Amino acid sequence: MGGLGSGVSKNTKRIVIESANFNASSIRRTRMRLGIISDAALRYEKDIDSNIAEKAMARIIEILEHTAGAELEGVKDVYPKKVNPWKIKLRLDYANKLLGETVPAGTVKKILRSLDLKVAGSGKNISVGIPTFRLDLRTEEDLIEEIGRIYGYEKIKSRAPLVSLQPAKINEKRIFARLVKDVLVSQGFSEMYNYSFYSQRDANLAQLGSLKHLELENPANPDQALMRVSLVPNILKNTRENLKYFREFEIFEIGRVYWPAQNLAIEQVAQEISGKTTKSSAAGRLKEILPEEKEMLVGAIILENKGKKGEKREKRHESNFFIAKSSVDNLLSRIGITDYYYDNFNSSPVDTPRSLWHESRSAEVKIEGHEDAVGFMGEINPFVLAQFNIHTRVAMFEFDMQKLFSFVQQEREYSPINRFPSVTRDVSMVTDGTIKGDEILQTIQAAGGNIVLDVDLFDAIDFDDGTSSFAFHIILGADDRTLTSEEIDDVVSAITRALEEGLKVKVRR
């Protein structure tokens, strides 16, 4: 650094030499802010000995006088806060305990003196004077580390610790998370690992920009400036990148999201904590300003990409929602949750905004007897997909892992395989477009009674005139006998009447 005006040439008669040291933290902050990396900055930010500046000055003067015949005109010393040697109290018993070896007191003192440290005192406690160039020696443990290094770690004999052998405490939540991952992987999902951050732009694209986020004071780059409040933006970015190489795939991620503390000033609480007399009271107040961490699960299903020009395309992407529902059904069943149902999605202020999801293809997942949803599923709003440069339908599901864990049944009930055969009948109908598939399913189960073992929706179509078509597999059977044709026809007739009279649908015959 410098130029012709500050350079030294053969005509130079007078020179000014600066030998200085600077505040390490100030140098580092300035380097990070300006983005300038120099040899000087890399040295000074490591906090070198301030007293070396005087020794360096004396040495350069000596060299110039000897080699160039220079004459010293004067020295100006600016040293506002002189750094003096400091002392550390060393307990020999503690040193032996930490090293696991009894090192004689004489050996300890000899080692310390060989490192140019001043030793004073006798007995079990000694005082060690630290020169200013040993900035790495600040604590008693630092001295013990030096003693062990010089004494030789190979001389310290290995001894098995005397501790009580306690079985490891089982972490049920970790086991549950592993179960969820195994179930999804068995369905063909691939697990994603993303950073816990995203950019303000990503938040805006996912319609999350209006939510309060935790901002990093010193982000590695602008793309990692905000702590995430949802896993969805990063999963959408994963989807965009994977669509460059694959036409169909299923991905998921389990990770934490971070919601800021509401309406609390961190500086104010910090001042209050400093006045607390007990650790418990300070810790309790501190929790009020820490972010709320939730472990979430998000999965995405993509069945159809735009494809290359002229390439034959299929309409399978229209089934994304139902494939996602099937994945959710299988997941909840495998982890031991059976009493769940789907309801209209109504977002709350702390949930992912409604505009992220498709207006008519989303639903909340709830547990019988509980008003709060454990998660939700549906297709992403086409507007949001376009913002992420995604031009195909994407179905997603998102669950709160803590809520799922709280409803898992630890004990499962098993029933013997039915000795009597079952019969499957298909029922197809046309509705006016206002009736939900769940209403039809409940009507079929209620009309069929115990004879209806299971009902599966296998086809759904929305027509341009506003009507909708649904088709269901109805599985009929009994535990104590084989159903006759008359019994089966009676049940199907009862179901048909209930649908036509109760829901006013037109059943195809």
The CA distance from 395 to 322, in Å, is: 9
Is residue 375 within 8 Å of 362, Cβ to Cβ? no
Residue 474's beta-bridge partner residues? 425, 455
Those residues with Cβ within 8 angstroms of residue 302's Cβ, 6 or more apart along the chain or in another chain: 239, 242, 243, 248, 249, 250, 317, 320, 392, 393, 394, 395
Those residues with Cβ within 8 angstroms of residue 170's Cβ, 6 or more apart along the chain or in another chain: none
* Long-range contacts of 407-411, Cβ-Cβ distance < 8 Å, separation of 24 or more: 407/337, 407/367, 407/370, 407/374, 408/176, 408/335, 408/336, 408/337, 409/336, 409/337, 409/338, 410/336
Residue 130's beta-bridge partner residues? 86
Longest dimension (CA), the chain: 123
pLDDT tens, position by position, for the chain (509 residues)? 567 777 788 888 888 888 888 888 899 999 888 888 888 888 888 888 888 888 999 999 999 999 888 888 888 888 888 889 999 999 999 999 999 899 999 999 999 999 999 999 888 899 999 999 998 999 999 999 999 999 999 998 888 878 888 888 889 999 999 999 999 999 999 999 999 999 999 999 998 888 889 899 888 888 899 999 999 999 999 999 999 999 899 999 999 999 887 655 555 555 555 555 455 555 556 666 788 899 999 999 998 644 444 444 444 445 678 888 889 999 999 998 888 888 877 654 444 555 788 877 888 899 988 888 899 898 999 999 999 999 999 999 999 999 999 988 656 667 788 888 999 999 999 998 888 777 888 899 899 888 898 888 888 888 888 888 889 999 999 988 898 999 999 999 999 999 998 888 888 87
Give the global pTM: 0.61
Dihedral sign computed on CA atoms, order 238, 239, 245, 250: positive
Q: What is the predicted pLDDT for the residue at 211? A: 86
Those residues with Cβ within 8 angstroms of residue 119's Cβ, 6 or more apart along the chain or in another chain: 109, 112, 113, 126, 127, 128, 129
Q: What is the 3-state secondary structure (H, E, C) of 57-124?
A: HHHHHHHHHHHHCCCCCCCCCCCCCCCCCEEEEEEHHHHHHHHCCCCCHHHHHHHHHHCCCEEECCCC
Dihedral sign computed on CA atoms, order 171, 176, 182, 188: negative
208 burial via Cβ count (<10 Å: 0-12, 13-18, 19+): buried
The CA distance from 471 to 489, in Å, is: 18
Q: What is the 3-state secondary structure (H, E, C) of 352-414?
A: CCHHHEEEEEEEEEEECCCCCEEEEEEEECHHHHHHCCCCCCCEEEEEEHHHHHHHCCCCCCC
Conformational region of residue 100, where left means phi above 0, alpha means psi within -120 to 50, and beta covers everything else: left
Q: What is the 3-state secondary structure (H, E, C) of 176-221?
A: HHHHHHHHHHHCCCEECCCCCEECHHHHHHCCCCCCCCCECCCCCC
Q: Tell me if residue 151 falls in helix, strand or coil.
A: helix
- Tokens for 409? 């049944």
94 burial via Cβ count (<10 Å: 0-12, 13-18, 19+): middle
Q: What is the predicted pLDDT for the residue at 473? A: 92
- Tokens for 372? 């709060």
For residue 419, give the amino acid letter: R
Q: What is the predicted pLDDT for the residue at 349? A: 40
The rounded Cα 70 to chain-centroid distance in angstroms is 64
Those residues with Cβ within 8 angstroms of residue 57's Cβ, 6 or more apart along the chain or in another chain: 17, 19, 75
Is residue 211 within 8 Å of 275, Cβ to Cβ? no
Is residue 335 within 8 Å of 180, Cβ to Cβ? yes
The rounded Cα 471 to chain-centroid distance in angstroms is 41
The CA distance from 186 to 180, in Å, is: 10
The rounded Cα 234 to chain-centroid distance in angstroms is 11
Q: What is the predicted pLDDT for the residue at 307? A: 45
Q: What is the predicted pLDDT for the residue at 44? A: 86
Domains of the chain and any CATH numbers: 12-68 (no CATH), 86-155 (3.30.56.10), 173-407 (3.30.930.10), 423-507 (3.30.70.380)
Residue 450 DSSP label: G
Q: What is the predicted pLDDT for the residue at 270? A: 55
Residue 298's beta-bridge partner residues? 253, 398
Q: Tell me if residue 502 falls in helix, strand or coil.
A: helix
Q: What is the predicted pLDDT for the residue at 308? A: 46
Residue 500 DSSP label: I
Those residues with Cβ within 8 angstroms of residue 401's Cβ, 6 or more apart along the chain or in another chain: 173, 176, 177, 180, 254, 294, 295, 296, 297
